[in-house]
Amino acid sequence: MDGRTETLIGLSLVPERAAWPQLLELAQVADRTGLDLLGIQDHPYQHRFLDTFALIGTLLARTERIRIFPDVANLPLRPPSVLAKTATALDVMSGGRFELGLGAGAFWDAIEAMGGPRRAPGEAVNPSPRRST
């Protein structure tokens, strides 16, 4: 290696349901103009937002080269095995253009209201902490 790192340029979108036509247009413009990445916020509890993974699947199908990822996937509300299967399917169906960004969550009241666990700060970093006895 020569010590150089690749710089990627991208765009982050808020998946507002009311902005659906503009989100598609922005993704297609980003794809055509050579941006590398497109991030989509993942807040499943936000009633104004489209589902992030449904949106990502649609955008991957309607673009050609840009890589798309959840910015970041909400782990408390997305079971690991289902998330892994979804990520794999999106990556295969898009020809390798899906990236997976993971996060512990932060809006605990909203996460808990949707049936997700409320985690303490240490648990959010390490969701299965070992307890000493």
Residue pointed to by tokens 């794809």:
31
**Within-domain flag for 3:** no
pTM score, whole prediction: 0.86
Q: Give residue 41's identity as a one-letter amino acid code.
A: Q
Give me the CATH number covering residue 103. 3.20.20.30
If one counts the domains in the chain, the total is 1
Range of the domain at 77: 10-125
Q: Is residue 62 in a domain?
A: yes
Query: Alpha-carbon distance 89 to 85, whole Å?
Result: 6
CB 58 within 8 A of CB 40: no
- What pLDDT, in 10s, does the model give residues 103-120? 887 889 999 999 998 888
In one-letter notation, the amino acid at residue 80 is P
The model's pLDDT over 13-36, given as tens digits with 9 standing for 90+, comes to 999 999 999 999 999 999 999 999
pLDDT at 42 over 90: yes
